[in-house]
Amino acid sequence: MLDVRDIPLKEFVDSRHKALDDDLAALRHSNEEEGVPLILAETEEILGILLSLTSPKRILEIGTAHGYSSLYFARKLPEAHITTIDRNPAMIEIAECEFASRKEGERIDFRIGDAMQILNGLIEELEDADESQKYDFVFIDAAKSHYKEFFEAAEKICTRGALIVCDNILLKGWIVEAEGKAAHRHRTSIKYMKKFLDYIRSRDDLETAILTGGDGLAIIRFKEQ
């Protein structure tokens, strides 16, 4: 369970969050007011540092919601191309409007449908592609029970120097909470998330950092060969 101090500490950190611009600040506020899932402010700042350090050209995002993170990636990196995937009809309609209303939307390839089907299609598309056509940054923020499948598909279309970031790996603290209604309701996600974390730790060809910032992040890169 999260310590009682975590709430004021989170509020302290969030109060010092600085948005990239007023448009993204307003979009974050409206998403939060409506209860729309989006990256936490602390997560955004960690991603911002990673993006600045790696300067990816092609970003793959699994899990679009209303499009906040896609727009953040596009605005943070004016030369980057973003492919984002979602299947939720309620999210899709709004995300399409958000992308269409901003110039950054021209660099966002919105793929609609089942994530694994789309990923398998991308694997076929990029089968003979050179490194410049593959993804050098991946952000996984979709169905928590399928992170392993998403990761294994994504690595087939990544450059060897790619960074893969997985969000919400702590599942709001349920990952360590054995009892309670919430933990029981999310027991499948908890089970598969633990298996995923054990899996990435077991692979000798990966370097992995597990962070508790935001709702937990796994930052993964392939070791130099």
pLDDT of residue 184: 73
The rounded Cα 49 to chain-centroid distance in angstroms is 14
DSSP tag of 224:
P
pLDDT of residue 180: 66
8 Å CB contact between 137 and 163: yes
In angstroms, rounded to a whole number, what is the distance separating the alpha carbons of residues 96 and 99?
5
pTM: 0.92
pLDDT, tens digit, 9 for 90 and up, residues 98-141: 999 999 999 999 999 999 999 999 999 999 999 999 999 999 99
8 Å CB contact between 207 and 220: yes
Mean pLDDT of 36-64: 95
pLDDT > 90 fraction of the chain, expressed in percent and rounded: 78
Residues paired with residue 221 on neighbouring β-strands, in sequence order: 163, 207
Q: Report all structural domains of the chain as residue ranges with CATH numbers, in order of start.
A: 6-222 (3.40.50.150)
Q: Which of 14, 11, 50 is nearest to 217 (CA)?
A: 50
Per-residue confidence band for 225, with pLDDT thresholds at 50, 70 and 90 = low
Higher pLDDT, 108 or 18: 108
pLDDT, tens digit, 9 for 90 and up, residues 146-203: 999 999 999 999 999 999 999 999 988 888 875 666 667 778 899 999 999 999 999 9
In angstroms, rounded to a whole number, what is the distance separating the alpha carbons of residues 110 and 97?
12
pLDDT of residue 175: 82
**pLDDT at residue 11 greater than cutoff 80:** no
